[in-house]
Structures are given as structure tokens and as C-alpha cells.
Chains A and B, each alone.
Chain A
Amino acid sequence: MTPFTTLDGLVAPLDRANVDTDAIIPKQYLKSIKRSGFGPTLFDEWRYMDVGAPGQDHSKRPLNPAFVLNQPRYQGASIMLVRENFGCGSSREHAPWAIEDYGFRAIIGTTYADIFYNNCFKNGLLPIRLPQSEVEQLFLQCAGTPGYRLRIDLENQTVIRPDGHAIRFDVEAFRKYCLLNGFDDIGLTLRQADKIRDFEARRRIEQPWLFA
């Protein structure tokens, strides 16, 4: 996993609540057995005028000019500004894969669905939770400022606006540690292999029916 330390990036606003994982990446693309290549079909049904299919050349499809990510001012964005309950719905990790593959490295919003939130950290994508009032301000500033950028500093847990205002965010210490270092969870967990074996051996005695 790519480590995440600091990010200075262009912001794209997605101003709607309850954005679900079916909207982030529609089902037809879940048939892939790969982890990569989902970026061109991120927000597929909002982004294009036609109905897409796997294996298509997405660069030739008609874009929906009204969709925010298609506007010239947001090309190259690496920070997505979102509303509450972002990523609700299914557990498909294809959602953060698509967001990351598109070029985003961080998401800023108020709340995220639990499974989606968790999945982001496994893919070097930082979902930041800020108070409603701060998010509201960011939406206003972003709309009013072409080329609006933010700086994110994970070590110091701050989002810094162009006017210098720094907003502190919370992130669990263990997730932060993994993200800063780009650690693979599995490697870390396997350091506890003896504890897992001991636990399992005890369980085998106490609840043998689980091991039949």
C-alpha cells in the first residue's frame, strides 16, 4: 500500500447526501477479477450519458456535462468533498478501488458508512470526518474559488485551507500508523500468530462443535 503522509490537492465537490456504492461503481463492473482499472467507471451512471458495459473503451463514451467531475475546473482533483453517509450500501471494495484509481487520495465529509470507511484505509485512501459547519464552509469556498486546493497533513491530523485556517480531524491511532507507513495489515497481524494459535487451541477445547 502507498503510504499517505501529506497531500496538497485540487478539490472536487460532490454535493449530495447518501451517495451509495451502487452509484460509486455499478454492478456490471464487479464481474472483474482484478483490483485495478475501475477509475474510468467511477460514478458511471452519473458521469456518462449511456449505459456502460465492462470491456468498453470508456474514453469514447458520451460524457454528461452536468456531472461535476466532468467540469474542466475539477480535472486532476485528488480530494473529493462529500456529504453525509457517503459510501452507504454494499461492502464492495471496488468503490474505494474506483475512487483511488480515478486519482483521489482523500475524501472529506461529515460521516461515512462503516464498511466503506474501513475499506478506504486498506487502499491508501484517507476518509476525513469533519464537523458539519466546517464541511459547509469548504463547499462554499470550493464553489466560489476556481482551482480551490486544500492541504492535508496526516501526521498532524489537519486540513489546511488556502486562507491558512487549519481544521483538526480525528483518526484512530492504529489506522493512522498503518497509513503513514503504508503497512500491509496482514503482515502486522501475523506478528500475533502465536496468540491466534493459542486462542484457537482454547476455543477448540471449549467449543469443539465449531471445529467439526
Chain B
Amino acid sequence: MAQTLYDKLWSSHVVHTEDDGTALLYIDRHLVHEVTSPQAFEGLRLAGRKPWRVGSIVATADHNVPTDGSELGLADPTSRAQVETLDDNIRTFGALAYFPFRDKRQGIVHVIGPENGATLPGMTVVCGDSHTSTHGAFGCLAHGIGTSEVEHVLATQCLLQKKSKSMLIRVEGELGKGVSAKDIALYFIGRIGTAGGTGYAIEFGGSAIRALSMEGRMTLCNMAIEGGARAGMVAVDDTTIEYLRGRAFSPRGEQWDRAVEYWRTLKSDDGAQHDRVVDIDARQIQPQVTWGTSPEMVTDVRGQVPAPEDFADPVQREGVARALQYMGLTPRTPIEQIRIDKVFIGSCTNSRIEDLRAAARVVEGRRVADNVKLALVVPGSGLVKAQAEAEGLDKVFRAAGFEWREPGCSMCLAMNADRLEPGERCASTSNRNFEGRQGAGGRTHLVSPQMAAAAAIAGRFADVREVV
């Protein structure tokens, strides 16, 4: 029978199935960071257990780390304790690779896995972080897990799972100029809603997806979770294979050839049935800007802020009214008239080299507007930073008035010192615009790197297609 990509990834990892269909799924790659792992290692220790296979573990410190390069290092004692706990745990238990704070390959866990070839097609990949869906870009089954599950995977190399339903989001046609993978992501979430993918694994397909680079596919799969799906994935093709060639942990020699032969089977068969199919015409997608406190509250840059009465459902209407109040926005305000205070280019969604190049092209030869108090560029990893500097992108950003920072999660979730103050409004390339996400009382608008750059220059949201 014709199988979907998800069917193939699922069935190749089932170790055992309970009567009710709950399966024990074998995990190939376990990514570990400092925030969701300490209690899991503690649990192992208390139970007198050891990790099942330390060779599956790749670890880094990303959520808490400062990005200002200060000599003080981790000045916040609670952040420091968490990062040092990870250092201790990896020293005690071991790992395939550890990129600690200040290592030149340290970075956001969802950036360093792929760039080191530690994420390979056909793997199951888990991490105590919901944006693990990112790795599905490589034809993996990848999703976030809680800390109890982190402990479970450490102890057993397996996860208890029920198979999800499968959704195909098919994007056909060519994206317009100035429209990126981030806009596809925000657009599909606007279409299906933040709960639209609950209970599903999403496969992204169609000509517009095949035309995306690996960076673009990662951006898209990263946001699958914002559409409610734990896992997003894209079939393997030449783009995938070329990206992986020669990476640190990619197979070599004869093993590379064998691997590639297998990887090429990682796509949905012709005639495979998905439980739900959503068709999107790429030409309809305009640059997107969120206006509310949920990623589904999104519109075109040429659009306007809606009014609560536009929504029929009373719970939704109330939600919109509350969001507009929190965001300090008046119904019917054109998006392009919304002025901003800060700009954040970074996060596991949009901090890869291609994102920085796209933003730099918009910024080059221009200046950040006077009303913008802070414009940050936070590369996703030490390797991305080095690459960007080799290309001179840091100079472009600095000359325009941006700050060029050290890698980390930074202002995506504001666990370190990078944050919004109450009432501040930010154009952000991150993934969540929840209340307080970037700092208590902060107001987040999600956009692509190009659109964040355009907003920095204009001091308000601006259609990047008119800038470049």
C-alpha cells in the first residue's frame, strides 16, 4: 500500500505496540539543552539509572546564555546554575557532542543539530523543546517532548507515542519577490488556526516547498508547532542531500552512498492518502505580519487590524478584543501605520545564514529609524556568526545601527537580559507573539527577516517589496 512519509518514519521506529495502539518508538537523536533537562538527569540519578545510549545525545546551552559577549559571562546566578548543571550532567553521563557556553560551535539547539550533520534523514529526533519540529525539514520524525519524556528517552532510548493523523499542506506555484518561508508559515497558521494541526503530523509538499532551501524548510517546519502539530516534515531531495554532504557528523565514504540510497526513499509514495490536505497557492501569499497574541492572528502587510465584531464566535471575539487591548491597537489601523520600538532578528525560526543574508540585503546602505530604540541581530550559532562575518554581514548591520550579538535564544523568549519592557512594540523574526513572551507587557509582531529589516529602517511596518 502507498505510504506517506510519516507512515514510513513511524513504522521504521516501532519497537513494540500496546493493545490500544500506544507504541514504543525508538529515538535516534536526543538533543539536550539546559532548561528542560536538569530535572530529567536528576530523576535518572535518583532512580540509579544510566542513559541508554549517550552516543545519541547532542547538547548545548542556548536558552539562558547572554548575547552581549560580556566578560562577566553568566551574571545571573540562576541562569548560571542551570548552565553549570548541564555542564555537570554531560561531564558525568557523556554525549556524542557538547557545545557549551562560549564554544565556537555553541548555538541554538535547532540550528546546531542540522549544521553539524547531527540531524539526518530518517531519524527520530526529540528534544525538550517544542520547536524540535524544525528537524523534520530533513525528512525526520522530529518533535518536542516534556521533561518526563526527556528522562524516559535518556533511560530507555524510546518514547511512548500514539500515531498521529497525517496532514499534507501543499503549496504550489512560485513565491513572489520579498515573500519567504516565514510568510508561508504564518499564512498557513492563519488558514488552519493554532489548533488546526492538533493531533496531526504535517508534511509540507508542493513545488513551492521543493524550491525552498534547507534553511527555508527549517523555518517552515519550525512553525508546525504553532499550527498545533508536534511534527512538521519535508521529503528528502537533492537539496537535502547537498546540504548534508561533508558536515561534521554526516556519514562518509561507502556509508554516505548507502545512506543516500536509503534517504531517497523518504518521501510520500504516489497515491498515499493523507487524513487532511490543505492546498495553498504560493502566489496568494503576501508578506505577513501578526497583530495579536497568537500566531493565527495574522494578516498581509497591506492589511489592517481587524475588529472583534468581524468574528462570529463569541469566545474568539472576546479573545480578539483582549488581544487588541494587550497589543494597544485600534481596529482598522493599517498594518503599515504601526510604529515599532525594537527589532529582533534571530531565534530557531530565523537565525540561519540565509535569514541574515536576506535581512542584510534590505538593510545595506540604510539606517535604522530614530524611533527604534534597539535593533538586534542574534546569529543562531557560532558557525553562523563566523560565516556571516566572513561575508561582511556584521558590518552591514552595524553600519545601519543594529547590534551584532553572540548566539543564543535571546529575545525570542527573554530568559536572558534581552527583552522588551512593558508596552514596547517589537518586529520579531521569532515564533510566538504570546502575552509576555518577549518580556512582561511586551508587544510582539511576528515577521520574516526581510520584513523585520524593512521595519527597522522605516520605524514602522513596511512592505519589503517596496524597499528592495
Report the separation of the CA atoms of residues A66 and B8 in the bound assembly, to the nearest whole angstrom: 51
Which residues of the other chain, A, contact B70 by a CB distance below 8 angstroms?
none
Which residues of the other chain, A, contact B249 by a CB distance below 8 angstroms?
212
Which residues of the other chain, B, contact A195 by a CB distance below 8 angstroms?
15-16, 24
User: Would you list 16 pairs from A and B whose C-beta atoms are within 8 A, ordered by A residue?
Assistant: A22-B437, A27-B415, A35-B147, A85-B198, A111-B198, A114-B164, A114-B230, A115-B145, A119-B149, A190-B155, A195-B16, A196-B156, A200-B26, A207-B122, A209-B258, A210-B120
Q: Distance in Å from the Cβ of A106 to the closest Cβ of chain B?
A: 18
Report the separation of the CA atoms of residues A18 and B294 in the bound assembly, to the nearest whole angstrom: 8
Report the separation of the CA atoms of residues A212 and B117 in the bound assembly, to the nearest whole angstrom: 12
Q: A114 contacts B436, CB within 8 Å?
A: no
Q: Distance in Å from the Cβ of B259 to the closest Cβ of chain A?
A: 5
Residues of B211-234 at the interface with A, using a CB-CB cut-off of 8 Å, are 225, 228-230
Q: Give the number of residues in A that approach B within 8 Å (Cβ atoms).
A: 60
Most buried by B among A22, A122, A186: A186
B5 within 8 A of A: no
B115 within 8 A of A: no
Q: A89 contacts B432, CB within 8 Å?
A: yes
B156 interface neighbour in A31, A186, A208, Cβ under 8 Å: A186
Q: Give the number of residues in B that approach A within 8 Å (Cβ atoms).
A: 83
Number of A-B contacts (CB under 8 A): 197
Q: B319 contacts A119, CB within 8 Å?
A: no
Which residues of the other chain, B, contact A210 by a CB distance below 8 angstroms?
28, 120, 123
Q: B16 contacts A26, CB within 8 Å?
A: no
Report the separation of the CA atoms of residues A114 and B196 in the bound assembly, to the nearest whole angstrom: 12
A174 interface neighbour in B20, B35, B39, Cβ under 8 Å: B20
Report the separation of the CA atoms of residues A207 and B120 in the bound assembly, to the nearest whole angstrom: 11
Report the separation of the CA atoms of residues A193 and B148 in the bound assembly, to the nearest whole angstrom: 19
A28 within 8 A of B: yes
* CB nearest to A23 among chain B residues: B435
Report the separation of the CA atoms of residues A118 and B164 in the bound assembly, to the nearest whole angstrom: 13
Q: B146 contacts A118, CB within 8 Å?
A: yes
Most buried by B among A51, A88, A111, A112: A88
B415 interface neighbour in A30, A186, A189, A200, Cβ under 8 Å: A30
Report the separation of the CA atoms of residues A118 and B262 in the bound assembly, to the nearest whole angstrom: 32
Report the separation of the CA atoms of residues A135 and B162 in the bound assembly, to the nearest whole angstrom: 26
Q: A209 contacts B16, CB within 8 Å?
A: no
* CB nearest to A54 among chain B residues: B78
Which residues of the other chain, B, contact A186 by a CB distance below 8 angstroms?
47, 49, 151-152, 155-156
Which residues of the other chain, A, contact B122 by a CB distance below 8 angstroms?
207
List residues of chain A with CB under 8 Å of any chain B CB: 15-18, 20, 22-23, 26-28, 30-35, 45, 51, 54-55, 83-85, 88-93, 96, 111-115, 118-119, 122-123, 172-175, 185-186, 189-190, 192-193, 195-196, 199-200, 203, 207-212
* CB nearest to B96 among chain A residues: A212
Which residues of the other chain, B, contact A84 by a CB distance below 8 angstroms?
195, 315
- CB-based closest 10 A-B pairs: A209-B251, A122-B148, A119-B146, A91-B144, A93-B146, A173-B20, A33-B38, A85-B195, A31-B78, A174-B22
Q: A31 contacts B415, CB within 8 Å?
A: yes
* CB nearest to A50 among chain B residues: B440
Q: B440 contacts A45, CB within 8 Å?
A: yes
Report the separation of the CA atoms of residues A120 and B287 in the bound assembly, to the nearest whole angstrom: 37
Report the separation of the CA atoms of residues A196 and B157 in the bound assembly, to the nearest whole angstrom: 8
B243 within 8 A of A: no
Report the separation of the CA atoms of residues A15 and B317 in the bound assembly, to the nearest whole angstrom: 13
A172 interface neighbour in B20, B76, B78, B229, Cβ under 8 Å: B20
Residues of B29-75 at the interface with A, using a CB-CB cut-off of 8 Å, are 35-36, 38-39, 42, 47, 49, 52-53, 55, 63-64
Which residues of the other chain, B, contact A175 by a CB distance below 8 angstroms?
22
Residues of B233-265 at the interface with A, using a CB-CB cut-off of 8 Å, are 249, 251, 255-256, 258-259, 262
